[in-house]
Chains A and B, each alone.
Chain A
Amino acid sequence: SYELTQPPSVSVSPGQTARITCSGDALPKKYAYWYQQKSGQAPVLVIHEDSKRPSGIPERFSGFSSRTMATLIISGAQVEDEADYYCFSTDISGNHRVFGGGTKLTVL
């Protein structure tokens, strides 16, 4: 079955840039999506189609994808950005969607 691989944790100080990666064999041909999930809450879409930011998401959130890796970038991370972040994509057939294992972002 298809898998997306993320680092379990990333830690930065406030104001620093956080980078969260997601690797998958189909990413050169399939979009990556990124979701933020704070404790006890439903996920929130922060990046879609590799690099597009939904309305209402702060400009410090950006994304890009190159070869087999998608990256979520939080420029000038804030304490309120502490959350679990999940990438989401599909296998090359387009039929099987999957979340990555999630990355816990700590900002302190």
Chain B
Amino acid sequence: QVQLVQSGAEVKKPGASVKVSCKASGYSFNDYYMHWVRQAPGQRLQWMGWINAGNGNTKYSQKFQDRITIIRDTSASTAYMELSSLRSEDTAVYYCAREEPLVSLFGSGRGMDVWGQGTTVAVSS
């Protein structure tokens, strides 16, 4: 079945970096976008960025533009999100989610229909 399996929980010190992986199975990895979304405790969902798994093109939220890198390894059907210069406010659950591309002036995808289980990242000194 279609699934996204993320790497395990991380504990990091302020200033460090974290890299979260998201392994896809059950579908053609190259044919979809992969988004990264996070949720701090008790807070709203926050879109971080996405990658076109087919060509590797990325788009990042302005909020994370200077600190985030999203890449993919097509041979391993895996996407990665790295966030640098961590601070306590980055403590959150991080999700990956796939989206089927859509050719339309009104939007570029058909919605994030499969999500990973989430990876908890705690930033503490």
User: A residues engaging B (CB < 8 A)?
Assistant: 1, 29-31, 33, 35, 37, 42-45, 47-49, 52, 54, 86, 88-90, 94-102
Question: Which of A31, A90, A98 gathers the greatest number of chain B CB atoms within 10 Å?
Answer: A31
Q: In the complex, A95→B107 CA distance in Å?
A: 10
Q: In the complex, A98→B45 CA distance in Å?
A: 9
B108 CB contacts on chain A under 8 angstroms: 90, 94
Q: In the complex, A96→B60 CA distance in Å?
A: 8
11 sample A-B contacts, Cβ–Cβ < 8 Å, listed by A number:
A42-B115, A43-B45, A43-B97, A45-B112, A48-B110, A49-B104, A54-B111, A54-B113, A94-B107, A99-B44, A101-B44
User: B residues engaging A (CB < 8 A)?
Assistant: 35, 37, 44-47, 50, 59, 61-63, 95, 97, 102, 104-108, 110-113, 115-118
B113 in contact with A97 (CB, 8 Å): no
State the Cβ distance, B68 to closest chain A Cβ, in Å.
13
Q: In the complex, A93→B18 CA distance in Å?
A: 30
B116 CB contacts on chain A under 8 angstroms: 42
B59 in contact with A95 (CB, 8 Å): yes
- Knowing A42-B117, A49-B106, say if A97 contacts B112 (CB, 8 Å): no
State the Cβ distance, A49 to closest chain B Cβ, in Å.
6
- Chain B minimum-CB-distance residue to A86: B45
B62 CB contacts on chain A under 8 angstroms: 1, 96
State the Cβ distance, B81 to closest chain A Cβ, in Å.
15
State the Cβ distance, B14 to closest chain A Cβ, in Å.
25
A97 in contact with B117 (CB, 8 Å): no
B46 CB contacts on chain A under 8 angstroms: 99
B110 CB contacts on chain A under 8 angstroms: 48-49, 52
State the Cβ distance, A75 to closest chain B Cβ, in Å.
20
B111 CB contacts on chain A under 8 angstroms: 33, 45, 47-49, 54
